[in-house]
Amino acid sequence: GPSTRPDTRGTRARRAHASAEGRRRRPELISTAESERLAADARALVPPELRARMDADNLMIIIEAEPSDEDRLNGIDRHVLGFFQGSGCEPTFTSLTYPKRVVLLQHNIERWSRSYAELVDPVTDTGLHEVAHYFGMSHDDIDKTRLRH
């Protein structure tokens, strides 16, 4: 299954199942606004008591086209579909733990999708997967749950 690559700042990355090397960049399948709507739909699948905890902690779920140079310097593989960055749902605010964010990488998700219909599941699954990391779950923990929609 996917592997985790934590760095010293608590970043965890989900690796794609296969390399996107050599694949050509296609035109966007959807707009960033539509990607954000899909991410919001995935967030809505999180139980209300957990969403309240995410809101209280200001967990951001954002869409980026590609991992930034800084993300890659921090150990994020350029092929991941998304990643969680932060130290998890700790109640104490420190400058070292913020911003806590789930980042969904639009271009990487699009590379694995041939159509809009094929794009919805990876956005939802990746969003839920990374939120699970926020709550401290490992890949083994996630595999034992019903996080998939």
Amino acid code (one letter) for 15: R
**Three-state SS annotation for the chain:** CCCCCCCCCCCEEECCCCCCCCCCCCCCCCCHHHHHHHHHHHHHCCCHHHHHHHHHCCCEEEEECCCCHHHHHCCCCCCCCEEEECCCCCCCCCCCCCCCEEEEEHHHHHHCCCCHHHHHHHHHHHHHHHHHHHCCCCHHHHHCCCCCC
Give 111-145 pLDDT, tens digit per residue: 988 888 888 888 989 999 999 999 988 888 888 87
Q: Is the pLDDT of residue 81 over 90?
A: yes
pLDDT tens-digit series, residues 28-67:
778 888 988 999 999 999 999 999 999 988 898 999 999 9
pLDDT tens column, 95-111: 555 678 999 999 999 99
- Residue 44's pLDDT is 93
Q: What predicted TM-score, i.e. pTM, was given to this entire model?
A: 0.73
Mean pLDDT across 70-82: 92
Q: Which pLDDT tens digit goes with each residue over 20-39?
A: 333 445 557 788 889 889 99
